């Protein structure tokens, strides 16, 4: 079976930009309230870093590649050293069954005809 590689759409890139803006806002709010947050400052920074990974286009590429590989019956594989891609691939692959039950539709051009 040949592996089909996902290409990002314009909608995916818009979501990335929106998530990156949210992550930057979260980080600036945490920095502005550092004295007020005290011990929670580190947690807020951690959340902002996780949101920043979701703002990376490679996260979206990984999440969709994981979904496509799962739907086509391929084994799980992390082939890149990019943490954003690997996080997306992991979440896409492991959550695909749940997402499909929730109404997610994988584009037909990426599905293997059996």
pLDDT in tens, 95-114: 999 998 988 888 888 887 55
| Exposure string over 17-48, b if 16+ CB within 10 A, otherwise e | eebbeebeebbeebeeeeeebeeeeeebbeeb
Reported pTM:
0.81
Find the helix or strand (DSSP H, E) in which 59 lies.
helix 57-71
Distance CA 66, CA 62 (A): 6
CA 23 to chain centre: 14
pLDDT in tens, 9-35: 999 999 999 999 999 999 999 999 999
Report yes or no: 65 and 5 within 8 Å, Cβ to Cβ.
yes
């Amino acid at each position: 079976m040949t592996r089909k590689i996902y290409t990002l759409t314009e909608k995916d890139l818009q979501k990335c930009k929106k998530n990156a803006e949210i992550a930057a806002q979260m980080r600036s709010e945490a920095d502005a309230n550092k004295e007020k947050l005290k011990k929670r400052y580190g947690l807020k920074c951690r959340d902002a870093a996780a949101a920043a990974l979701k703002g990376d286009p490679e996260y979206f590429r990984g999440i969709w590649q994981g979904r496509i590989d799962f739907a086509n019956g391929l084994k799980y594989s992390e082939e890149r050293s990019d943490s954003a891609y690997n996080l997306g691939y992991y979440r896409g692959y492991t959550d695909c069954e749940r997402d499909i039950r929730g109404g997610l539709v994988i584009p037909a051009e990426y599905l293997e005809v059996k």
